[in-house]
Amino acid sequence: MAETSPKGFDPVIQEYYHRTPEEARLKQGPFELEEVRTRELIQRFAPPPPATVLDVGGAAGAYALWLAEAGYAVHLIEPVARLLAEAQRRSAAAPRQLASCRIGDARALDLPDSTADVILLLGPLYHLTNAQDRARSLREAARVLKPGGWLFAAAISRWASALDGLARDLLQDPRFTLIVEQDLRDGQHRNPTDRLDYFTTAYFHRPEELADEVQTAGLALNGVYGLEGPGWILSDVAERMAHAQRRAALLDMARMLETAPAGLGSSAHLLAVARRPGGTSRAGA
């Protein structure tokens, strides 16, 4: 397609998403737990449809198309051309299509002030490894949100690779051990190997750091939530998610630990929920 990634988008990250089927990830094992819990928290706080949602870094539209089907007006912005093309293809075949779908940059949204009721940043904070770039993206979200609008911003936990390495016995590989050590030291995840399952260039947050970044952008933080709890590291998580009672137990445990300071680090992903000051709160939120 003619559209290209935004200027300054890391080519290493772009190449990773051209080689990796991100569009299928959330239907596999521990990632299914991530998806269910992300949807649950969005439903807990977001205003009801019809409302305007901006999904920034929305990949192939997993959350955008779900919200569009629920009756929201959803605009998807994505920096990777291949994933954008897949989102457009899926939208064209969907009963409720996306309101728009285009290439864009979380650090410079081509939208007027006070446009969206909800903004999803469910990927950009991973890959903006520079603190100034993350700050720019969060300030842009605050600008584009309507007063009282909701932000859902995901981050990868500082301890995710260490726990993943333990669960999948990856620490036998000294290359992966070096990756984990750097992650724990400064949060800067780099993968110099040819193993796609070791992920790509990213930044891994501490919960308090994510909270501080959101608040510094001028947003009123509701909380930082652990998405998966410890269940994602179980070797049989896929089987548990396919069994009603065992699935319920995984989700109950994730909810019980979602805000416990000592439990946040057991999740692979964190979700900051915040509002732009002003406007009115949704009842019950």
Is 3 within the bounds of a domain? no
Looking at the domain assignment, is residue 283 inside a domain? no
Choose among 99, 109, 4, 131: nearest CA to 57. 109
Residue 234 within any structural domain of the chain: yes
Token pair, residue 213, equals 């970044």
Within the chain, which residues score under 50 in pLDDT?
1-2, 281-285
pLDDT of residue 47: 97
pTM of this structure: 0.95
Q: Is residue 222 part of a domain?
A: yes
Range of the domain at 150: 11-275
DSSP 44: H
DSSP letters for 174-203: HHHHHHHHHHHHHSEE---SS-GGG--SEE
Strands 145-157 and 269-275, sheet pairing: antiparallel
Question: Is 6 part of a structural domain of the chain?
Answer: no
pLDDT of residue 102: 96
Q: Is residue 281 part of a domain?
A: no
pLDDT single digits (tens) 4-34: 678 778 999 999 999 999 999 998 889 999 9
Is 285 among the domain residues?
no
- CATH code: domain of residue 258: 3.40.50.150
Answer whether 22's CB lies under 8 Å from 60's CB: yes
Q: How many domains does the chain have?
A: 1
pLDDT of residue 283: 38
Asked if 90 contacts 61 with a C-beta cutoff of 8 angstroms, the reply is yes
CA distance 81 to 102: 9
Given this model, what pLDDT does residue 3 score? Answer: 58
90 three-state secondary structure? helix
**Residue-level pLDDT at 137:** 98
pLDDT for residue 2: 45
pLDDT tens by residue, 205-220: 999 999 999 999 999 9
Phi/psi of residue 89, each to 5°? -65, -45
In a domain, 101, yes or no: yes
